[in-house]
Structure 1
Amino acid sequence: MKALNTFANKKVLVLGLAKSGYAAAKLMKELGADVTVNDRGDLSQNEHAKDLAKLGVRIVGGGHPLELIDHTTALMIKNPGIPYSNPMIKRAETLGIPVVTEVEIAGRLADAPFIGITGSNGKTTTTMLIGEMMKGSSYEPIVAGNIGTALTSVVQKANEKNVIVAELSSFQLQGTIDFHPHVAVVLNIFDHHLDYHGTVENYAKAKAQITANQTADDALVYNADSKRVVQFIAEKTKAKKVPFSLKQKVANGAYVSEETIYFKDQAIMKVEEMGLPGEHNLMNALAALAVAGVYGVSVQHMADVLRSFKGVRHRLEYVGVVQGRTVYNDSKATNSIATSQALHAFPKKEIVLLAGGLDRGNSFDVLVPDLVKAPIKAVLLFGETQQKLKDACLKARIPVIKEVENVEAAVPEAFALSQPGDVILLSPACASWDQYKSFEQRGDIFIAEVNKFR
């Protein structure tokens, strides 16, 4: 880790004590900063807060007192999910105080180069694939970021022998200034998080931060099939362009032709040999191949990873064959696009779909064509969006639509409505917070209920 003394004895406010806030506060204290952590929740029994207090960090919970910020504050590190409309952030901006996420701090301190991965969908799977492929390079990969490990918790141990493979959300990237990955990956841009960013243009602008500081010595791996990625990001980058595509042969990139996967016109493997199902996972694989190709990873290692990789937890995760039904946990599908992709992964199987969750105000009409096309036998609906999803299912003329209380109640119904050879798929198209703490908890409960039928 670089020995920066930039923040020694400087006042730093960490807004939001979650996993990233804890890691950032701890690191800034070690760098000699005068650190205050502020969270609207009660922190009196919070173990992370207690740990930080022992280190000399000031802890302020139960609200956001504006007096914590004044002209002597040098920096605010915000939790990515806190909107910029928050009064604390507004005050910091008025006073000209930089407001960043922990990604910016990690980027300034790391001795290791970064591979940054962003996109509306597929980030986690692609990040994990790249991590596995980079084990065949001259670098030792460290996988972190939005995938679940705070970047500020890994930069201290990373050195020039490592490469940090970082999943990055638009929320994280919007809070960067000088962040500079050696390789940036942009998978896609859909109409996501507009409640946070306001417009698609703002959302794309946040994503574009991943390549904002790149130079001709760096590489941008990008989806050549996405008009938005090309328009908002690839056309504006200064980095070397490395495209990937399902629709066309691309020079200097990864593509599919006649059911064969290629990188720079060299055949890697047949599509049917991949360990992950679905066209969206094929796209993720092409992105990972392109990154591995930049680093000179052998074709054999690339192919071995794609054959053996079975996915990440909660993202079209293969649970097993239970009473003849093939079960998949796609709890991480927290929007319609992700569920659409999951439905296309099983073109020759009849599906019993479990869906529903937090109501964010959107309709699900965008799912209707996919519900029509997919061979869906029945749909089980739960959570706040039951009625909205039911409306979409009725438009798609799904033969059996049933409302249940929650995932726990949905699983036995799914077995009752299915038969051997069918797919039981949890792909909610919604966030989990109306009934569960996280999509991970929702997925774990689904698996536990399925295991009762083994």
Structure 2
Amino acid sequence: MRWADLTGRRVAVWGFGREGRAALNALSRHVPGQAVDLYCAADEADAARDVFPDVNVRDVAPDADALAGYDIVIKSPGISAYKPELLDAQVRGTRFTSGTALWFAGHPMANTIAVTGTKGKSTTSALIAHLARSIGVRTALVGNIGLPLLELDDETADLWVVELSSFQTGEASGVSLGVVTSLYEEHLDWHGSRERYVDDKLKLLASSTKVLVNAMQPALLARAGDHPGLYTFGGAADWHVADGWIRRGVEDVIRADRVSAPGLHNAINACAALAALEIMGLDARAAAPALSSFVPLPHRLQPLGKRDGLDWINDSISTTPLASLAALETVGTARAALIVGGHDRGLDWTPFVEAMRTHAPEAIICQGRNGPRIADALEAAGIGNVYRALDLAAAVGAARDALRGDGVIVLSPGAPSFDQFRDYAERGKRFAELAGFESGTASIQGLGIL
């Protein structure tokens, strides 16, 4: 769907987050004078009317009848495409689109790398952009990472690196290279089932001329195996990590510990980024030294520093139990207190519990809505040093008490933040404050076009 298709139609924008605001601004540029309704939360209505005085603001959630009254609805990505009222309106003729879909339709000749994955997509996207810029390529870093595509709708770049969530992968089109970093269980509340989540995530394959996937995940590789433009990373013949080196096949290119973002998983993300550049015809080997100057993304295994004899690591973006395990691995043999728990989406914590049988930290603090469920499972497995806390503040206090001024406190919740916070960034900032650091220590560098 293109902007011209909205002319003279009954149009609504659903959602007034950053994506919704970008859609309203782009709509006014591309289809001036077009009437539009906005559906937003009641506490957003006054701000919406101030910023967009010509928009008809409705401070309620639309039901099926309301949605069916429009020809086209531009939906924010956080609104599930499987909501009953949306499906009902679709049957009755309403077409749903998004800022992502409109941008791709309007830029069919753009040189694009679209990156998705359960884990690693943000860091991999930022690494690709950083490395491309290091060799002189004018590169845009946009999408789910924090800058809606439509905010740069009228800009030009030699390369567009677009992070896509599982909510957005089906909205892309004409992608030059689609990258899938990993695939685990995630966002079941939006997609409805693991099978649908996987199917939605892998819609990126169908919209991409070439695809790059993680060879270390056999199930992912099997799903991508029929794609005519398939490339891999992580295998022995690919960009991969072995014996402390990032290698291209048998060639040692750069030591893995030169990657500024800590952990083996980030070295693997670097392999994905280097492979993506190579596939796009860029000099990956020339870009590799810039891995040491990359600024790690906030809330992703972000070392905050030392306070009161303790090291503090902010991994607030962790929303799966496997991510919590990966975070714990990065601290090695150090005395550690791991803070887990948050909004309960019903994910299976069994692999985490089993791993704790053989490699438990000094303390595991279980907090938030699903904290009691995690603690019950750990204790039932005979794992000691399990603490319970009502909220993040209490969890930080328990972690301090457990380590007594010696060790590292890791926030890697393995769960979303919505039980206590607006998003993972707010949770990470609060953790930094509780640790004694400025909340503004965390900001993503490199967004936009450089």
Q: Please give the TM-score of this superposition, normalised by the length of structure 1.
A: 0.88
Partner SS, residue 290 of structure 2: helix
Tell me what 2:41 maps to.
Answer: 41
Q: Which residue, out of 142, 157, 175, partners 1:181?
A: 175
- Gap change, CA 1:324 and 1:295, over 3 Å in 2: farther
| RMSD over aligned Cα atoms | 2.6
- Gap change, CA 1:404 and 1:204, over 3 Å in 2: closer
Q: Distance in 2 between matches of 1:294 and 1:63?
A: 44
- Gap change, CA 1:12 and 1:162, over 3 Å in 2: farther
Q: Distance in 2 between matches of 1:144 and 1:314?
A: 18
Tell me what 1:220 maps to.
Answer: 211
Q: Distance in 1 between matches of 2:93 and 2:219?
A: 32
Tell me what 1:62 maps to.
Answer: 60
Partner SS, residue 88 of structure 2: helix
Tell me what 1:432 maps to.
Answer: 417
In the alignment, is residue 317 of structure 1 matched against residue 313 of structure 2? no
Q: Distance in 2 between matches of 1:268 and 1:199?
A: 41
Whether the 8 Å contact between 2:16 and 2:40 is mirrored in structure 1 is no
Tell me what 1:243 maps to.
Answer: 232
Within 5 A, what are the aligned runs for 1:33-432?
A: 34-39=34-39, 41-42=41-42, 45-52=45-52, 54=53, 56-70=54-68, 73-110=70-107, 112-157=110-155, 159=156, 161-174=157-170, 176=171, 179-215=173-209, 219-232=210-223, 234-238=224-228, 240-245=229-234, 248-250=235-237, 253-263=238-248, 265-299=250-284, 301-395=286-380, 397-418=382-403, 422-432=407-417
Q: Which amino acid aligns with 2:312?
A: V
How many pairs align?
436
Higher normalized contact order (CA 8 Å, seq sep 6+, divided by chain length): 2
Whether the 8 Å contact between 1:14 and 1:35 is mirrored in structure 2 is no
Tell me whether 116-125 or 421-430 shows the greater mean CA deviation. Answer: 421-430
- CA drift of 1:192 comes to 1.6
What per-residue deviation string (whole Å, max 9, x for no partner) do you get for residues 402-450 of structure 1? Answer: 2223222322332232156522101111111111121111111111111
Partner SS, residue 434 of structure 1: coil
What per-residue deviation string (whole Å, max 9, x for no partner) do you get for residues 65-87 of structure 1? Answer: 5454457x442221222223434
Q: Distance in 2 between matches of 1:49 and 1:114?
A: 35
Whether the 8 Å contact between 1:254 and 1:286 is mirrored in structure 2 is yes
Whether the 8 Å contact between 1:268 and 1:302 is mirrored in structure 2 is no
Q: Distance in 2 between matches of 1:333 and 1:89?
A: 30
- Gap change, CA 1:403 and 1:115, over 3 Å in 2: same
Whether the 8 Å contact between 1:17 and 1:37 is mirrored in structure 2 is no
Structure 2 unaligned blocks of 5 or more: 439-450
What per-residue deviation string (whole Å, max 9, x for no partner) do you get for residues 164-217 of structure 1? Answer: 21111111123x2x61221110011112223332333322221222121333xx
Q: Please give the TM-score of this superposition, normalised by the length of structure 2.
A: 0.89
Whether the 8 Å contact between 2:12 and 2:39 is mirrored in structure 1 is no
What per-residue deviation string (whole Å, max 9, x for no partner) do you get for residues 76-122 of structure 1? Answer: 22122222343442233113333223211111123632211101111
- Gap change, CA 1:133 and 1:396, over 3 Å in 2: farther
